[in-house]
Amino acid sequence: MPSFDNIVIWTGFALFVLMIPALWRVIKGPTAIDRIVAVNVIGTKTAVLLVVIGQKFQKVEMFVDFALAYALLNFIGSLAASRFLQKSPCERQESKGAATES
């Protein structure tokens, strides 16, 4: 039976490997919001990875705070990005008007 220390290391490694498809989506993604979603996924994985690192160094009580702060920043970041990309109603009216004129 493997010790829990090995399990922690392999969990961290698996999390790191699973970030690669999300990174591929960031590079390739056809729309801007696709990229933001992938960055959001990577951010959530990083918050979990911080807990894993804390368990490896036997200092979970310190790394828990980092993970919480990172999750909060990730949430604020994705909300700000979605607000930034959302068209306002008057902007939409303008684009509709331009489409009908041309």
Partner 1 sequence: MIQETIITIISTLLILCGLIFFLGAAVGLLRFPDFYTRMHAAGKGDTLSSFLVVLGFAVYQLHDFKFTEAGFKENWWVLLLILKLIGICAFIMITSPTSTHALMNAGWEDDIEPELKHKDANELEKDYPRK
Q: Using CB under 8 A as the criterion, which residues of the chain lie in contact with partner 1 when the complex forms?
A: 4, 7, 11, 14-15, 18, 21-22, 24-25, 30-31, 33-34, 36-38, 40-41, 44-45, 47-48, 51-52, 55, 60-61, 64-65, 67-68, 71-72, 75, 78-79, 81-83, 85-87, 89, 92
Lookup result for tokens 């922690």: 8
Q: Shortest Cβ distance from residue 79 to partner 1 (Å)?
A: 6
CA distances from 31 to 19, 76, 100 (A): 19, 21, 25
> Which of residues 61 and 101 has its CB atom nearest to partner 1 in the complex?
61
Specify the residue, 21 or 97, whose C-beta has the smaller distance to partner 1. 21
Q: How far is the CB of 7 from partner 1 (least distance, A)?
A: 6
Provide the minimum distance between the beta carbon of 48 and partner 1 in the complex, in angstroms, as a whole number: 5
Alpha-helical runs (H) found in 29-88: 32-56, 60-85
Q: Contact, 74 vs 44, CB < 8 A?
A: yes
Pick 65 or 94: Cβ nearer partner 1 = 65
The alpha carbon torsion through 77, 80, 81, 85 (nearest 10 deg) reads 180
Least Cα distance to 15 among 52, 56, 67, 70 occurs for 52
